[in-house]
């Protein structure tokens, strides 16, 4: 019996899941597994100097009537016998399952982990130390989990089974008993003279997990392979090692194909090289796609089919191919790039602005003379820039020739004169055009030729007179090309460095807010 006791304590220490001086929240039903975990941690804390702050948490799911009440009372008593205070929470698991279209098993798990998180946050706030959450899954649970996943269908990640440590938001969930078998736990219980609570529903094979534990695995062990449980665990260990290698290769491939400078917080987007993604091995593509899902906050919906559809978009002959993804996201080809995004246009098409655009810049419109507004040399391309602002300068006489009613009122941000015909800052509208020097060009066609992402086109800011665009303003969301720096402006109203100082000009200043 002492051998079983020592094996439990040795495996808890060997797992490295708890460290000296930690606060440990222990999921404590009072059953054999959780009692062994709590008792073992308490023993190591006192006898081996780990000096742990142990906080047992018991959740009464209100499913088993008087039996659940007795288990709650016993959990409190067992914790007190170890000098510990057990925190008790009561939750209507059946009602929660019905409200959220879950099985009772799923609802119970969700409720428990929500309570663990709630407790962890409160304890951290009290003493400033981040606790860990310890649960009592054992080696047999690991075998059953892997077998259950095989039956349902899984990949290498699923075959790896449960990890000894996993993240739960900002906290760690640890499984110190993951390499301890159920037989070893029973030996520990007996050698320490413990009296755990017994949940009779664990003997009900109406539940899938119970059926695997009570019927399927024992039948295979008795008739085919006595070492079946151990073989399942070994399969899990092999799969975990393979998964770790593939994850590292996928991370490297992701870094090589990604354009981090084009990721956008506004768009919540991730951009990669479409050709590199399309040529990448499926084993890596699936992991890269899953990583993108995590970055975009897509909680569910990833599958092999999704990955293959994304790869079809990446390799499509259509340079604007698109696929809708779960969670309101999408992936689209933008020429040689593949953009995963949850974007929605910031400003509806054609909407006038109040002097601000989606790039955190402000716009001012005024008139004057070349010498009056020139603070730097007026270059041939009309644009002044000093890093904090960009100013486009246009021939005011030519503007008035084309638009006789135009007046520029310096007191008005949109430049509208008394006739109401003036410069406005807005997003594009159907029929908008810009003069290119060889004729007019539709804004839609120009944006396509400039390879501006489709999801950005409706939120770009433009200085317009009627349907004519004088200037497509620069935008910080675009990382290359003219719109990344100075914007694109009309060639019909150019001014030049040789213009006389008293030449009348219209100036539109875009000031970048740092």
Residues marked as binding? 29-34
CA 260 to centroid of chain Cα atoms: 15
The encoded tokens of residue 465 equal: 């007179």
CB-based contact 369:502 (threshold 8 Å): yes
Give the alpha-carbon dihedral of 445, 451, 456, 457, to 10 degrees. -10
Q: Do 445 and 433 form a contact (C-beta atoms < 8 A)?
A: no
d(CA 57, CA 47): 23
d(CA 225, CA 443): 71
Instruction: Report the C-alpha dihedral over residues 275, 276, 279, 282, rounded to 10 degrees.
Output: -130
Distance separating alpha carbons of residues 139 and 229, to the nearest angstrom: 9
> Which residues sit in the known binding site for ATP?
29-34
Q: Hey, what long-range contacts does 81-88 have (CB within 8 A, 24 or more apart)?
A: 82/38, 82/39, 82/42, 82/54, 83/42, 84/38, 84/42, 84/54, 84/55, 84/56, 85/55, 85/56, 86/28, 86/56, 86/57, 86/58, 87/55, 87/56, 87/57, 87/58, 87/119, 88/58, 88/59, 88/60
Could you give the CA distance from residue 144 to residue 243 in angstroms, rounded to a whole number? 20
For the chain, the C-alpha Rg in angstroms (whole number) is 33
CA distance 169 to 383: 49
Angle at 402 between CA 399 and CA 408, to 5 degrees: 40
Q: Provide the token pair at 212.
A: 């695997």
CB 360 within 8 A of CB 478: no
Within a 13 Å sphere around the CA of 68, how many CA atoms are in the beta-carbon half? 15
Burial string for 170-208 (b: 16+ CB within 10 Å, else e) reads ebbbbbbbbbbbbebbebbbeebeeebbebeeeeeeeee
CB 97 within 8 A of CB 103: yes
- Pick the closest to residue 388 from 478, 271, 476 (CA basis): 476
Tell me the C-alpha distance between 349 and 464, whole Å.
14
Pairing, β 504-512 against β 87-90? unpaired
What's the CA gap between 386 and 372, in Å, rounded?
18
């Amino acid at each position: 019996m002492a051998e079983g006791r020592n094996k439990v304590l040795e495996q808890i220490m060997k797992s490295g899941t708890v460290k000296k001086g930690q606060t440990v929240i222990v999921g404590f039903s009072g059953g054999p597994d959780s009692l062994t975990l709590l008792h073992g941690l308490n023993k190591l804390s006192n006898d081996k100097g780990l000096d742990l702050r142990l906080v047992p948490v018991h959740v009464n799911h209100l499913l088993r009537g008087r039996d659940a009440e007795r288990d709650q009372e016993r959990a409190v008593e067992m914790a007190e016998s170890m000098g510990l205070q057990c925190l008790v929470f009561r939750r209507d698991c059946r009602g929660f399952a019905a409200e959220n279209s879950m099985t009772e098993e799923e609802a119970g798990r969700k409720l428990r982990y929500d309570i663990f998180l709630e407790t962890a946050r409160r304890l951290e706030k009290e003493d400033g130390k981040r606790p860990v959450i310890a649960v009592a899954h054992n080696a047999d649970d690991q075998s059953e989990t892997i077998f259950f996943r095989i039956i349902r269908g899984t990949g290498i990640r699923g075959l790896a089974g449960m990890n000894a440590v996993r993240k739960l938001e900002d906290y760690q969930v640890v499984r110190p008993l993951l390499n301890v078998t159920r037989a070893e736990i029973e030996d520990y219980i007996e050698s320490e003279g413990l009296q755990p609570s017994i949940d009779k529903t664990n003997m009900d094979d109406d539940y899938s997990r119970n059926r695997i534990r009570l019927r399927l695995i024992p039948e295979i062990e008795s008739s085919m392979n006595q070492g079946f449980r151990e073989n399942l665990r070994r399969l899990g260990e092999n799969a975990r090692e393979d998964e770790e290698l593939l994850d590292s290769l996928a991370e490297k491939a992701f870094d090589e194909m990604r354009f981090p400078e084009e990721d956008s917080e506004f768009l919540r987007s991730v951009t990669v090289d479409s050709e590199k993604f399309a040529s990448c091995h499926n084993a890596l593509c699936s992991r890269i796609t899953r990583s993108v899902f995590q970055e975009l906050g897509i909680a569910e919906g990833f599958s092999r089919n999704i990955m293959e559809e994304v790869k079809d978009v990446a390799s499509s002959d259509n340079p604007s191919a698109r696929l809708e993804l779960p969670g309101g996201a999408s992936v689209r080809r933008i020429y040689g790039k593949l953009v995963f995004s949850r974007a929605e246009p910031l400003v509806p098409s054609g909407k006038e602005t109040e002097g601000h655009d989606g790039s955190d810049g402000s716009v001012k419109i005024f008139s004057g003379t070349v010498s009056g507004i020139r603070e730097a040399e007026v270059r041939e391309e009309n644009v002044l820039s000093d890093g904090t602002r960009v100013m486009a300068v246009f021939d005011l006489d030519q503007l008035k020739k084309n638009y006789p009613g135009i007046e520029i009122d310096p007191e008005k941000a949109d430049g509208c004169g008394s006739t109401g015909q003036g410069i406005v800052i807005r997003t594009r509208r159907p029929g908008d055009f810009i003069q290119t020097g060889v004729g007019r060009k539709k804004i839609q066609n120009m944006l396509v030729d400039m390879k501006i992402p489709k999801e950005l086109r409706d939120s770009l800011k433009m200085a317009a007179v009627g349907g004519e665009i004088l200037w497509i303003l620069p935008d910080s969301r675009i990382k290359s090309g003219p719109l990344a720096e100075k914007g694109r402006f009309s060639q019909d109203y150019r001014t030049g460095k040789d213009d006389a100082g008293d030449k009348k000009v219209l100036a539109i200043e875009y000031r970048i807010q740092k």
